[in-house]
Amino acid sequence: PTIVAVVPAAGIGSRMQADRPKQYLKLGNKTVLEHTLSALATHPRIARVIVAVSRNDPYFDTLPLAHSDWLIRVEGGTERADSVFNALQYVDDDEWALVHDAARPCVTHMDIDSLLEVVQWPDVKGGILATPVRDTMKRAQAGSLPLHVAHTECREDLWHALTPQLFPASLLKNSLREALNANIRITDEASAIEWAGYRVALIDSNPANIKITRPADMPLAAFYLNQQDT
Ligand code: CTP
Ligand code: MG
């Protein structure tokens, strides 16, 4: 099938506490968003890239790649899922959507290749990149004071969900629409697909594909990007 990348880039980056949204901070000579868009656009299986940008964003148009012929800009929404849903309107029903956070500039072609395998897999309706949790996981007693442990979760089967996440576009559109209408909290694409009752493949992947969230993530991302060049 044709693979179309969908990139939510309409967040404000509150946890980053920078003077602009984190996707517009520079890593070397390019912004985070340019690293991300280039990694996707240069992959031979990706036909085009739909990017969701805030309505009054003053930064996007200044990027050298803003008017590339492989790129379509759409308006972002209130939540990440709304941004993704808007962008999906530019993906045809018979195509597959590969959704990837703007804030993950370290994604590699190898990461994308391993995810693309799920297109052929029986019994699943798409998949996500993920990495096993490393620390012991505690469930807190909700609302307790002092905050204390309710119990220890079994770490064995716990994974961090990363992006990209890959699904048939029609299934993702329908699942997201229904989940949003039902007011389900949707923090990644897979949660909408799971909620709709389908099976999502987990692909054990490279943990260098970090999401830039806090200030200390910038030098870490720069380190991983440098490693790719050497
Ligand atoms: N995003 C989006 N539309 C929103 C919120 C988030 O397109 N309404 C995008 C962000 O730009 C980012 C990705 O979703 O690329 C992951 O979200 P997150 O890391 O939470 O980014 P922000 O929401 O910008 O950061 P914060 O939560 O710290 O404010
Ligand atoms: Mg956010």
ipTM value, please give it. 0.99
Average pLDDT of the residues in 158-186: 97
What architecture is the 3-229 domain classified under in CATH? Alpha-Beta Complex (3.90)
Residue 154: exposure state from Cβ atoms within 10 A (0-12, 13-18, ≥19) = exposed
* Cα gap 124→73, rounded to integer Å: 30
For the chain, give the mean pLDDT. Answer: 97
Nearest-ligand number for the alpha carbon of 22: 1
pLDDT at residue 229 is higher than 90? no
Q: What one-character DSSP code corresponds to residue 210?
A: P
Nearest to 101 by CA among 40, 181, 57: 40
Please report, rounded to a whole number, the percentage of residues in the chain having pLDDT higher than 70.
100
pLDDT of residue 171: 98
* Cα gap 167→175, rounded to integer Å: 11
Could you read off the pLDDT of 78-125 as tens digits, one per residue? 999 999 999 999 999 999 999 999 999 999 999 999 999 999 999 999
Q: Which residues line ligand 1 (CB under 6 A)?
A: 8-15, 21, 23, 52, 76-80, 83, 101-103, 211, 213
Q: Whose CA is nearest to atom 16 of ligand 1?
A: 101
Residues 6+ apart with CB under 8 A from 54: 10, 12, 21, 75, 76
* Cα gap 67→62, rounded to integer Å: 10
Domain ranges of the chain: 3-229
3-state secondary structure of 220: helix
